Amino acid sequence: MVAFGLPTPFGAPDPMAAEPVVAVRGEVQPPSGARIRVLDERLHPETVLWRVKGVLVLSPEDLWAVRCADLDDESGIALGDAVLRRLEGDKAPMVAAVERLPVEQQARATRLLGLVRCEVCPPVETRLRLLLLQAGVPEASHYAAPIPREGRAGIWPDLQWESVRVAVEVDGPHHAADTQHESDIRRNRTTKDHGWTQVVVSSREVMRQPRDVVRWVGGELRAAGLRW
């Protein structure tokens, strides 16, 4: 994940603190040595490998598929969101990677892939999206789509329900900076000028007050006329 610049999901161990894992193709004799853990199952012969700074590593899609076996659902989906974004929305490589997994691992990876979305990248946005789905809130119609839809875009809210024109933004710690605060004021004004209701929650609230965040967002959606 570090090599590809992918975010580490909340439920995943620190990649820099974990033991090195060596993965080999089916026809290669695995190495052995201290502080090296070799995967029990050898990789499928058609597994895609990338060369990063001279080292062969799993492709992003195969990395995600293999990690699905030891990540919780949210973490597997969050990593999938990041990988699909890197693949520019093309799910075909991820589908192929799932088909290369051992049969007993394919059903779960397929289920998680069905919940992966291209436009959602930071794990905190994935968490909010899944919290709302688990609460029965209809899925957002758009993620990070431009507003207005035509002409010069002014904003790209994280989650959007176009039928009721409600947009949700997840603001991280950097939004406390003065320059960012001024940008946020302009963002909120632009959203309102285009007839949308803007709901802003902080990443800290998503992590520490998930029930409150679901209630706040759900309340705004109901007030705007969304029913479920």
Compute the distance between CA of residue 24 and CA of residue 111 in angstroms, rounded to an integer: 26
- For residue 136, what pLDDT is reported? 97
Per mean pLDDT, which of 6-15, 29-38, 127-136 is the most reliable?
A: 127-136
Q: Do residue 138 and residue 201 come from a single domain?
A: yes
Long-range contacts of 84-89, Cβ-Cβ distance < 8 Å, separation of 24 or more? 84/116, 84/117, 84/118, 85/118, 85/119, 85/120, 85/121, 86/4, 86/6, 86/60, 87/60, 87/61, 88/118, 89/118
Q: Please identify, among 45, 80, 113, the residue that sits at the C-terminal boundary of a domain.
A: 113
Q: Do residue 98 and residue 172 come from a single domain?
A: no
Range with lowest mean pLDDT among 47-51, 61-65, 130-134, 146-150: 146-150
Q: Do residue 30 and residue 98 come from a single domain?
A: yes
Q: Do residue 94 and residue 148 come from a single domain?
A: no
124 versus 14: which is more confidently predicted? 124
Whether residue 6 lies inside any domain: the answer is no
Whether residue 141 lies inside any domain: the answer is yes
- What range defines the domain where residue 45 resides? 21-113
Residue where the block lists tokens 């790209």: 156
Instruction: Of 31, 37, 60, 30, give the one whose Cα is nearest residue 48.
Output: 60
- For residue 186, what pLDDT is reported? 59
- For residue 27, what pLDDT is reported? 56
The pTM of the full predicted model, rounded to 2 decimals, is 0.81
Domain tally, the chain: 2
Compute the distance between CA of residue 24 and CA of residue 34 in angstroms, rounded to an integer: 17
**DSSP letters of 182-209?**
HHHHHHHHHHHHTT-EEEEEEHHHHHH-
